[in-house]
Amino acid sequence: MLNWLRRRFAGALPRGRTARAVPDALWQATLAHYPFLAELDDAAQSRLREMSSAFLGQKEFFGAGGLIITDAMALAVAAQACLPLVYLAPPGNPAAALGWYDDFVGVVLHPGEVVARREVTDEDGVVHHYREALTGEAMDGGPVMLSWADVADAGHTAAQGYNVVIHEFVHKMDLRDGEADGCPPLPAGFMGTASVAEARRQWRARLQAEFEKFSDQVAAAERFGSLVDTPWLDPYAAESPSEFFAVASEAYFVNPGKLQAQSAGLHDLLDAFFRPPQRALP
């Protein structure tokens, strides 16, 4: 159990120490299990592999419900978590992009879905209690929880644009400025803007337009059923701009062609963020 990971990546790496390379056999097995990773070009795969090594050196994995975490499981999470950062890294230092994830250490894997108890207070001050089935959760300043069953099946669910690891780690990126609002930190100059404030205004306007269009499609599908086209993205994306950003980002990385065919504007907006010519760390 975790022989290679414990030997090479136990706990956070001391300052100045470089993570050792992921063993080739383990890396190739990961690419084979998750074809959307194998579709990256050689340069992007090399960056992803280096980032994954560094991620494993910085994070601590915990198995819940008796789940025993293997090297392959930890690497599967690391590679998918680092995928959104592949084109955000400064030249010559891929691991530096992990600054996006420096607000936490723990990654908790459950065998499957987790039923969480929730509490919400309505406008009249009445407290409501309910249960929610979760396949993942990203906590502001805290750990990331994932269902291993969903992580393991990501190679198959890519056809539906679904990926729980990317979803939760994009939430972490969204939360970098302290608010889950569907707008990650953006630099001045983003999409030709002159300031950070203008970049945020443009992002919010474009994402909100896409969100409202998608929400209308979901509402129409719920009302009219087979009489109208059903949106391809998970309807859960209509919950909020933050969930829309996370769900759309899943699709962008695991099935970009389908996303572009369904919504070229949304694809292009995500492309501008995740594949900039060069991006400074937040």
Q: How many residues does the chain have?
A: 282
Alpha-helical (H) ranges within the chain are: 3-9, 24-33, 35-38, 42-58, 71-82, 148-152, 154-157, 164-174, 196-224, 241-254, 256-262, 264-274
- pLDDT (0 to 100) of residue 253: 98
Give this prediction's pTM. 0.87
- pLDDT (0 to 100) of residue 229: 78
Structure tokens at 210: 């896409």
1-179: which CATH architecture? Orthogonal Bundle (1.10)
14 DSSP 8-state letter: P
Please give the chain's pLDDT, 282 residues, in tens.
344 444 444 333 333 344 668 999 999 999 999 999 999 999 999 999 999 999 999 999 999 999 999 999 999 999 999 999 999 988 888 899 999 999 999 999 999 777 556 455 556 665 544 455 678 898 888 899 999 999 999 999 999 999 999 999 999 999 998 889 999 999 888 888 999 999 999 999 999 999 999 999 999 988 887 777 788 899 999 999 999 999 999 999 999 999 999 999 999 999 999 998 765 455
CA gap 206, 26 in Å, rounded: 40
Span(s) in the chain for CATH 1.10.472.150: 1-179
- pLDDT (0 to 100) of residue 3: 45
- pLDDT (0 to 100) of residue 124: 62
